[in-house]
Structure 1
Amino acid sequence: MTTSLHIVCPHCDAVNRVPDERLGEGPTCGKCQLGLFTGQPVDLSNARFQKHIERSDIPVLVDFWAPWCGPCRTMAPFYAQAAQRLEPRVRVVKVDTEANQDLGARYAIRSIPTLALFRGGREVARQPGAMDAGNILAWVQQQLNR
């Protein structure tokens, strides 16, 4: 029996059902026809954030950051490298806490950058501080194996 997963489109936010075994085959959105996985972090605003964490059946890794933050800018290319390796099994997103202050407040983000991993709409792990791609990948894998 084939298991289908709900995947939120990074372009139009439509919820798509994708058979689990087809995740790695470059699935496209049924609404906008663009790829469901880009290999790049998806920038999310307040309006889009909840849909992505609540409706995605795959884990969602969030980088809470700000443009004025030096460590955030240093970590950004490593985070993008990690996105290439984590997708399609993990959705990788970014939230600018300067532009989306209520999200930072809602999730009690006290330092940036902070990574948070969500499953089924709930935060399951958090890691503050800048990391390189290898450490991001190792941390995510450790959390997924729990």
Structure 2
Amino acid sequence: MSLRYSFAAVLRLLRHQKGLTQSDISNTVAQSHVSQLESAKTTATIDVSCELASAMRMQPGSLITLALACYGQRTPRELLTDVLAELEELELADVVLNHQQQPTKTPAMIDAERKRDAIRALKREGATQAEAARQLGLPEATLRRLWHQVSDS
């Protein structure tokens, strides 16, 4: 069973439990989209889930937790207990994350950084491009490109 069916069931349940109509929660989400979500004809994005939760005056995490608990045939408490344990294991339970975190460096990015550091050191020692290419075992074209990316300091 797709998660969209659980989300649809939870959305209908919460809306009815709060005595709201589809129009009532259609502040930023079109009523026709709410209808499609409730009939599991479409899937909600994180942004739409947040907007719907806000319109129902609840935390987005509550809406998503209920949908995931329904999908996994578990209680929300069981799910949240497991989530908290997982976050504690990752040492992230009490961390405020920066939404502008730097992207993770790929192995290629790390390798290029290592090469630039080596080139920088050779430039400081007074090596020529040809000498640096030989010492580092790099093709001359690659060395030239990286050579001009690094500062002399």
Q: TM-score, normalised by structure 2?
A: 0.21
Q: Greater strand share, 1 or 2? A: 1
Q: TM-score, normalised by structure 1?
A: 0.22
Q: Greater helix share, 1 or 2? A: 2
Query: RCO (CA 8 Å, sep 6+): is it higher in 1 or 2?
Result: 1
